Structures are given as C-alpha cells and as structure tokens.
Structure 1
Amino acid sequence: MESSAELPMVVSVDDHVIEPAHLFETWLPAKYRDRGPKALRAGIGQLEYIGGKYRISMDPDGPPTDWWIYEDLQFPYKRNIAAVGFDRDEMTLEGITRDEMRRGCWDPKARLEDMENNHVEASLCFPTFPRFCGQTFAEARDKEVALACVRAYNDWMVDEWCGDSGGRLIPLCLIPLWDVELAVAEIQRNAARGVRAVCFSEIPTYLGLPSIHTGYWDPFFAACEATGTVVCMHIGSSSQMPAASPDAPPAVQATLSFNNAMASMTDFLFSGVLVRFPRLKLAYSEGQMGWIPYALERADDVWREHRAWGGVRDLIPEPPSTYYYRQIYACFFRDKHGVASLDTVGVDNVTFETDYPHVDSTWPETKAVALDHVKGLPADVVYKIMRGNAIRMLELDLDRHLKSH
C-alpha cells in the first residue's frame, strides 16, 4: 500500500492538565472544603535535589508561585510541567504561576485551540497536583476528605474539563488507591457516565500498597474488564523514578524513565492477571516502545526455559508475549527505534502522545515530528498508530464510518 503523505489527526493518549485554582472550592462538597486542598500564591525557595527526590519550601522573598496546600503538603507548580511556550533553556524547575503558563495548561477552551493548532483531535490528560495516579490523596491522613477529593476531581474532570469539548477531551479518572472496594465503586460510578480510562500505579508496592501478584487488586481489574475501562499507568506513577547513583543529576532519571514501564509490564506478564482477565486493557504512558521487542523476547525465553523454577509453570499457560499482543498498549512521541521495530512492537499495540504541556511535549510541532517518524509506512499503519488504536482502546466515538480499520 502507498505510504501516506498526509497525517491523520492525532488522538493523544498522554497529555496533562494543570488544575485550575477553583477546582476544589467548586467541586468539593462544602462540609469538606476547610480540610480540602486550597490554592495559594506565594514565594518559592531554592529547590534541592537530594537522593533522587526534590525538596522545596516557601519563601516570602522568592519568585511568586502557585501552590496547593493540603494537610501538611505544600505542592508548587514548576516550569518543567507547564513548559509549552517557553524556550528550551527556560524549562526549569523554578516556580510558576498560572498567569505565566500558556492558558491551555488549565483552561479547556484554550486547550482545544492549542490542540487544533497542533494537529490533535482528541486528548487524554493525566493529573498534576493529585500526581499521576492520585498518590496525593492516598497519602493523606483524613481518608474521608481524601475520598471526597478523588470524587470531586473526577466530577471536575468529566463535567468541566471534558464536558463542553464535544468528546475531544477524554476523561481520565482517579480511584481511592487505599481501598479496593471503594475503587471498584468509583470505577462503576464513572463508567456509568461514559468514562473508559482510569489512572493506576505502575508499581503499587512502591506506594506501600499490595502488589498485583497478591490478588488484592482482582476486584478492581474485574471492574475495569467489565466496564471496558483502560488501566493507564504513567511513568512516575509509583512516586519513584529509576536512578543509578543517588547523587546523579535528574537527566539520568529522565533517560531511564522507561525502566519503570518495562518493570511493570514484566510484572503483569508473569502475574496471571492477564490470564484471569482476558479482556482487561493496560496502557503504558510516556514509556516509549523501543525496549519492547527485547523485553518480550526475554520474557518468552524465561517462560520457555525457566518456568519450572521461575514460579510460573502453572500460572502462565502461554508465552507472555501472547498476553502483550492481546491486551497491552504502548505509546510514544519520539522513538524512531520503536517505529523501526513496529512488526515486533505490534501495529495494533501502538498509540501516540504529545505530552502537552511538559518539557518533552512536541507542541506545537507534533505534525512535523510525527511525519518524520512515520514516513514510508503504509497509510493504514499510520492511521492505526496516530489514532485508530487509541480509538479502539478507549472506545471513542470517532471514525465509526471507517469499517475497514
């Protein structure tokens, strides 16, 4: 088939939203507002990076910054997470206010305009203040308020952020990570109003939660399978990024960030979860895909040669790659090695992202970046990886007329 000179409009499965200052004041029930998150503008102190973690404090004499204050947590927004519109050397860890950000970071109408100018039709956005799977609320002491915050965030996400977008902003919701039965209830509540995506931790044990091997999460996975809800796991959703030396610069973590996705995927392939829930869908966000061919080769070799002593002889009846191709989606934005390995990564397993508004974002050059990656590929493959697979994964009401894809 002829390669496509034109690029279909992108469906991005990994972008981010900066929460508006009114979110909890508007959406949290009145009886919880005194104990819920509060938006504040205050000076920021010097940021320290020690042992792979950031330490930051308020400073009345520091640059103005927008914060969230919640229990003992002081959470500032930094330039690297609202980087679009800045020069590359200005995308730092300094504090930032919403006034300094590009408006599309936190305003849905402005976001749609930025998508329109970036060849993006639809976008799935991960949270910022709640962190990538709601760790902020899972770590809170008052779980009654935390549960109300999870629900308030989800209500805002569905009704305000996505509500007037005509389906172009795709809802991605949180669960109360600390209680699997409450998580099931929240999956069902959101699925009833059309939500088909939920945040989850790539490695729950790093958050002090049970592992996927224990069976604890099976009711959650069952609810996701039954409702067609995709389990979306962003790099860093375990509150820990891979590092080498404890005093290595953040660039080491940024380079190794795919390691968590690789570890998580291997965990799932050997867990039995995908055997027990054959229609469950997993999506790895911002993990890229060039590493997947060898990870699958190695997993299948281990299954073939080492399954008896490896503890999976009776747990995993087929080669692990079987479950990957059936149930797992990768995503990329800059990964030419991965594109060159599409036959092994799987043309039906690949999705695309723009990572707006983070430092890595391809905005506003997404079309040029994508075309550079897919040149020479057949048009039907380009369609799949730019939008078709995402539409199928998330059950989006787009392109219903294209029966052949």
Structure 2
Amino acid sequence: MVATLEKPTAHELLPGIRVVDADTHVSEWYDLWTSRAPARFRDRVPQVRDVGGRWDWVIDGQTLNREGASSAIRKDGSKTLGMDFRDLQLADVHPGAYDLKSRLAFMDREGIAAQIAYPNLLGFGGQKSMLLDAELRNLSMTIFNDAMAEMQADSGNRIYPMTMVPWWDVDLAVKEAERCAAMGLRGINMNSDPHVHGLPHLGDPHWYPLWEACSSLGLPVNFHIGASDESMTWFGAGLWPGHPDEVKLAYGSLMLFVGNMRVLANILLTRVLERFPALKIVSVESGAGWVPFFLEALEYQMREAAFEYRDSPKDIFRRQIYICSWFERDNIVHTARKIGIDNLMFETDFPHPTCLYPDSFHYMESAIEAMTVEERGKIFGGNAQRLYNLDLSQVPF
C-alpha cells in the first residue's frame, strides 16, 4: 500500500488555505446511466458489458475499446505508468476515482478542501456523444448532469462537477446550463471545436445566447485539453512514424497542451471576449509556461497583420481567462507573476495517468516556498473559489 501521509500534505504545506484542486476526473460508475434511464432506453445508454471476455463500455451497441476505469491509480495505491491504465477496471483502481465516500476520505488525507471535476466516458468536451442519435445523446447528457449534481450535493459541496452542455443545439445548451445552474453546478464544460460537426465556430453569433447565459449566470466556460474530435488523440497528430507506444504517449500528452493554445488563439482573435466582458474562460490541464510567450507573440503578430484590437490580448487574458497547472514547478512562480497571479489555478488531474500522485503537494514544495503568502492563497485556492463562487467556510481545515 502506498502511503500518502509520509510526505507533507496540502494542509501542512499551505496552512490556513482551503485548497481547491481545479482539475480532477470522475470515473463513471458502471450503472450511472442504466440506473436512471427510462426502460425503453436502458439497453442503449452508456453501460458496461462483457465484450470478448472483458468488461467494456458500450454506447448504443458500439464498443469503446478498452476505456476501462479511466484511472491510473491502482486499488493498492500504486500508480500505473504508460498505457496499461486502459486495461484497469473499477475493481482494480483507487475507489476514490468513482466512490464518493472514498473520494472525500482521500481529499481529507491530502488536505484538499474542494475539487473541480470533469468527465471521462463521453469525452472531455462531450464529443463521444455524437456516436448517439439526438434523442439518446440528449438523454445521456441530462442523466450525467443529474448524477453530478447529486454528487456535488452529497459531497457537502466539496466536489464540483462541471455541467456537460448539449453543444450540438445551442438552445438546448442554454436551457441545460440554466437547469444545472439552478441545481447548484458552477460552470460548463464545452467542446472546443463544434465546427468539426458542421456547426459555426465558437466566435460566431450563433453562440451568443450561450455566452450571454453563462455571463449572466456567472458560469465559467471550461475548455479541457482534448475536448473535441479534432484535438483528442493519445498519440497526437504529427508524430514521426515508428515510435513505441511510450514515446507516442509522451508526445501526444505534450501536444494536447498546444491544442489549447490553438483554442485560446481562436477565441482571442474572434474578439468574442470583447463583446462579453463578463464571460470567464478556463484552459484546463493545459499548463501555463507557454502563456507569456503566447500572449506576446499574439499581440506582435496581430500588429504585423494590421489587425487592430480595442482591448489587448494581455488585458483580456487578465480580465477573463484562467489557466490550470500541475507538474510545473521550476518556473511556475515567474510564470504566475508574468501572466497574473489572479489567473492561475493549481490542479492535480487525479486520477489520470499524468496526475500528481502520490505526494502531490510534496512535489510542489519548492515552488510553494518561493511564493509569497498571498500568491499561495490565490493559486492554491482563492482564485478557484472566486471564479466558481465556492463557499468553503464549512470545510473543517
């Protein structure tokens, strides 16, 4: 059994700070959909079946091929490296990946007050929903959001799943954002490239009703890396041929960060954030070190292209865009001060393959020591509490 208490916890390294982990994932339990679906849909909603002698996720008869438990943390506390995590089932992994009571116990041991949570099965941006017909995909997403709202409430408002919106229909997306906000959910999780499916790009007026709703409801719009068919591949586009899987995985994981650079460039160049100055955007699991270069390069190239702007990308970023970082420690303090201390949030990515586990906060100890008390408070909790409107006063540490 791997002991996580041998190293300092967040509570010990960050005394007085209610730490918020700004990117974690929920491993969907096997009856999440079947236990809630109407009888006529029960055989079609996402579920686990025996496929060729192993349990696998099936959606409307289509096998998703070794999706497993979407966790790299084993039941004994050890961490699986490489692609072997795809063979793990729920019975093999840390129960905190899918079981609420175990998750809260894990958070208590780590000294984490709250977590922002994202999905797995339907895609980080809901892109796998397109495997289903419109009626079934709408139902599947509604069921998922209902289950996540229950999880948030049952956690005592310590786990905050982000709403999955039916982005294939902007009117339905607005209604679902409103419905889930009424249930207490605190943000939406958005597909970054709906134009791949024949819809307008996200800067088009087609999406203005959704941006208006999110602005008025105070719902941040979260873009997780790999949140579309265009951007999601474990092995990445452009990889030279002939590499073994471990090289492909390292390359693909790196290139996912670049995918969110592309998303933010398009958002800033479409000027949609100038039109909606109250709209908040979050780049999730993308890291932060590239942001100072990105903003300087974008402003320079816009000038050279004679592309005038009312508000500079740097100003818009500080006003409306947030970045999540986890493994960066060598230069993260400099990066945070460069992009804005108010715009950076800490994450662990639990329980995914590249997550900071075990000893997440011990890993960050040198960076924590280099921060001021104010910087620690904002990066490790305050920024997320403000952005997602979290009240953690009842958390007992």
Match of 1:144 in 2: 135
For 1:286-325, list aligned pairs within 5 A: 286-306=285-305, 308=306, 312-313=307-308, 316-325=309-318
Give the total of aligned pairs. 371
Q: Map 1:5-404 to 2 at 5 A.
A: 6-7=13-14, 8-40=17-49, 42=50, 58-60=51-53, 64-78=54-68, 81-83=71-73, 85-89=77-81, 92-140=84-132, 142-159=133-150, 161-239=151-229, 240-241=231-232, 242-245=236-239, 247=241, 249-306=248-305, 308=306, 312-313=307-308, 316-336=309-329, 337-399=331-393
In 1, the alpha carbon distance for the partners of 2:354 and 2:198 equals 29
User: Greater CA deviation, 78-87 or 206-215?
Assistant: 78-87
TM-fit CA distance, 1:326 = 0.3
Task: Give the C-alpha shift of residue 88 in structure 1.
Answer: 4.4
- Contact map agreement 2:72 2:81 (CA 8 A) in 1: no
Match of 1:48 in 2: none
Task: Tell me by how many angstroms 1:74 deviates.
Answer: 2.9
Distance in 2 between residues matched to 1:94 and 1:152, nearest whole Å: 25
Q: Which structure carries more helix by proportion?
A: 2
Structure 2 vs 1, CA of residues 268 and 132 (structure 1 numbering), >3 Å: closer, same or farther? same
Rounded to whole Å, the distance in 2 between the matches of 1:89 and 1:227 is 40
Q: Residues of 2 paired with 1:329 and 1:132: CA distance?
A: 18
Any stretches of 5+ residues in structure 1 without a counterpart?
Answer: 43-57, 401-405
State the percentage of identical aligned residues: 31
AA aligned to 2:13 is: E
Deviations 1:218-275 (A, max 9, x none): 1111111111111111111023244323635232111222101111111111111101
The AA in structure 1 aligned to 2:188 is V
Pairwise CA distance, 1:183: 0.4
Amino acid at match of 2:372: P
Amino acid at match of 2:47: K
Task: Compute the displacement of 1:89 (Å).
Answer: 4.2
Which deviates more from structure 2 when the two are superposed, residues 262-271 or residues 198-207? 198-207
Whether the aligned pair in 2 keeps the contact of 1:299 and 1:321 (CA below 8 Å) is: no
Gaps of 5+ in 2: 1-10
State the TM-score, normalized to the length of structure 2.
0.87
**For residues 153 and 12 of structure 2, what CA distance do their matches in structure 1 show?**
34
- Provide Cα deviations, 1:171-204, integer angstroms capped at 9, x if missing partner: 3111112111100110111111221111112333
Q: Cα offset for 1:341?
A: 2.0
Report the 3-state secondary structure (helix = DSSP H, G, I; strand = E; otherwise coil) of the residue aligned with 1:117: helix
Q: Is the 8 A contact 1:118 1:364 kept in 2?
A: no
Question: What is the root-mean-square deviation of aligned Cα atoms in Å?
Answer: 2.3
- Contact 1:126/1:172, CA 8 A, preserved across alignment: yes
Look up the SS of the partner of 1:14 in the other structure: strand
Q: Separation in 2 of the partners of 1:326 and 1:398?
A: 24
